[in-house]
Amino acid sequence: MIPSLMPTYNRADLAFERGDGVWLYTSDQRRFLDFGAGIATSSLGHNYPHLVAAIAEQAGKVMHVSNLYRVPQAERLAARLVAASFADSVFFCNSGAEANEGMVKMMRRAQAATGHPERTGIICFDGAFHGRTLAMLSATGNAKYLSGFGEPAPGFDHVPFGNMNALRNAIGPTTAGIMIEPIQGESGVNSADVRFMRDLRAACDEFGLLLGLDEVQCGMGRTGRLFAHEWAGISPDVVSTAKGIGGGFPLGAILATEAVAKHLTPGSHGTTFGGNPLACAAGNAVLDVMLAPGFLAQVEARGRTLHAALERLVTARPDLFEGVRGHESTGGLMLGLKCRFPVSQLQAAALQEELLVVVAADDVLRVIPPLIVNDAECLEAVERLARAADRIVLAAPLLHAVAAQ
């Protein structure tokens, strides 16, 4: 008989009762080091007092009023995001997929409103992940995710990630814009280099296209900058973000320039829950921490510690590991460990070492801790990974021998 909770996930047989910082506790008091952060979402770790207090306080006042009225918490959060980024205006929603849907709608609407209603096509990249709604499945383009769900939504093309020639060849008279993750998360922590990001901006300017960045995972401080595209020194037209922005509370956002945002006139787009007082109280509390002097630099420094420790693991175990992946800046706290064996084995072994990590495609282990992690915790996580790797060697001496040749 089917479980009453729909079995859409392969869940580990573990349930956490509470968390504290980068640690999660089961009811039998087993303590796990959380280097997955609920898939790069628990940006301030668990039970962060300032975030907890902000949510509790707002919940005790008013949680939801709808967008029929002004929401001061949303106005404040938007103003702060605008002040801290390229954007002139922000739309709040509830998830990454919803932010990406809105981003594509904005790109199309801006083209239509400026005399190009025929420009509806969005150029995406192989290996993309943009979410699970019907249109974002098409933008993602992964055959496995599309299977059984009917005709893919039209208007999304794919070119190889990082290939400028292919990109320029894909641009046509019906192209509205380009949609890219500056660092692809789900497909294995593939980072677009700074040069490619700048070339994308130049191509958009040359052909009158809009540059839309999916920073749902790599944004909100993950790389040691508020947004990953800042490393390239470029200014996009639209950016979607979600995951880390609410510190675990569901919140998404679309940031846009005035030239794009002004076409989303009243009635053209909306959401019931998006930008409610509770979610925005969480968002403001997260920003209090992220924008505090030195915080992002600290993320960058912790990323360097973690990166170096992972590199040492790769050097010690060239038979098992191929390299460390992340942004060319050193990656911040969005790193990948490329394995020479099925990465699910390493994830399972890490669980035995009471370390939580997340698999990605291409046999890459994603190492994406809360941004409040300290150096000692980074080193502890890599020690646990090394012990997890030992388990794999012991369990599969043949694989080890073959890989070592």
Ligand X SMILES: *Cc1c(COP(=O)(O)O)cnc(C)c1O
Give the nearer residue to ligand X in terms of CB position, either 121 or 131. Answer: 131
Q: Report the alpha-carbon distance of residue 150 to residue 355 in Å, rounded.
A: 39
Residue 71: CB minimum distance to ligand X, A: 21
Tokens linked to 286: 């997260």
CA 207 and chain centroid, separation: 28
Residue 398: CB minimum distance to ligand X, A: 36
Edge to edge, the sheet with strand 31-34 lists 16-20, 23-26, 31-34, 355-356
Residue 172: CB minimum distance to ligand X, A: 25
Give the nearer residue to ligand X in terms of CB position, either 229 or 243. Answer: 243
Give the nearer residue to ligand X in terms of CB position, either 219 or 224. Answer: 219
Q: Report the alpha-carbon distance of residue 404 to residue 27 in Å, rounded.
A: 41
96 binds ligand X (CB under 6 A): yes
Taking Cα atoms as reference points, which of 30, 38, 32, 53 lies closest to residue 370?
38
81 binds ligand X (CB under 6 A): no
The piece of 65-73, 76-84, 93-101, 297-305 that touches ligand X (CB under 6 A) is 93-101
Q: For residue 69, give the 3-state DSSP assignment.
A: coil
95 binds ligand X (CB under 6 A): yes
192 binds ligand X (CB under 6 A): no
Give the nearer residue to ligand X in terms of CB position, either 124 or 381. Answer: 124
- Give the CB-nearest residue to ligand X: 96
Give the nearer residue to ligand X in terms of CB position, either 310 or 368. Answer: 368
Q: Would you give the binding string for ligand X spanning residues 168-187, x where CB under 6 A is met?
A: -------------x---xx-
**CA within 13 Å, CB half, 377:** 22
Taking Cα atoms as reference points, which of 308, 279, 286, 290 lies closest to residue 367?
308
Q: Which residues of 188-200 are buried (b: 16+ CB within 10 A; e: fewer)?
A: bbbbbebebbebb
Candidate residues 129, 156, 227, 249; the one interacting with ligand X per rule CB under 6 A? 129
Dihedral, CA atoms, 125, 128, 130, 135, nearest 10 degrees?
60
Residue 113: CB minimum distance to ligand X, A: 26
The piece of 194-202, 210-218, 259-267, 303-311 that touches ligand X (CB under 6 A) is 210-218
Give the nearer residue to ligand X in terms of CB position, either 214 or 300. Answer: 214
Residue 242: CB minimum distance to ligand X, A: 5
> Is the Cβ–Cβ distance between 281 and 58 less than 8 Å?
yes
Give the nearer residue to ligand X in terms of CB position, either 98 or 377. Answer: 98
Distances (CA, A) of 181 to 126, 156, 235: 11, 15, 14
216 binds ligand X (CB under 6 A): yes
97 binds ligand X (CB under 6 A): yes
Residue 207: CB minimum distance to ligand X, A: 24
355 to 384, contacts with ligand X by CB under 6 A?
none
254 binds ligand X (CB under 6 A): no
Candidate residues 51, 242, 287, 364; the one interacting with ligand X per rule CB under 6 A? 242
Residue 187: CB minimum distance to ligand X, A: 10
Residue 98: CB minimum distance to ligand X, A: 7
Residue 246: CB minimum distance to ligand X, A: 10
Q: How many CB atoms lie within 10 A of CB 251?
A: 28
Tokens linked to 381: 């996580």
Q: Report the alpha-carbon distance of residue 351 to residue 264 in Å, rounded.
A: 46
> Is the Cβ–Cβ distance between 200 and 167 less than 8 Å?
yes
Residue 240: CB minimum distance to ligand X, A: 7
214 binds ligand X (CB under 6 A): yes
130 binds ligand X (CB under 6 A): yes
Give the nearer residue to ligand X in terms of CB position, either 171 or 228. Answer: 228
Which residues neighbour 16 within 8 Å (Cβ) at sequence distance 6 or greater? Answer: 24, 25, 26, 32
> Is the Cβ–Cβ distance between 253 and 232 less than 8 Å?
no
Pairing of strands 175-180, 190-191: unpaired
Task: State the residues that interact with ligand X by CB under 6 A.
Answer: 95-97, 100, 129-131, 181, 185-186, 214, 216-217, 242-243
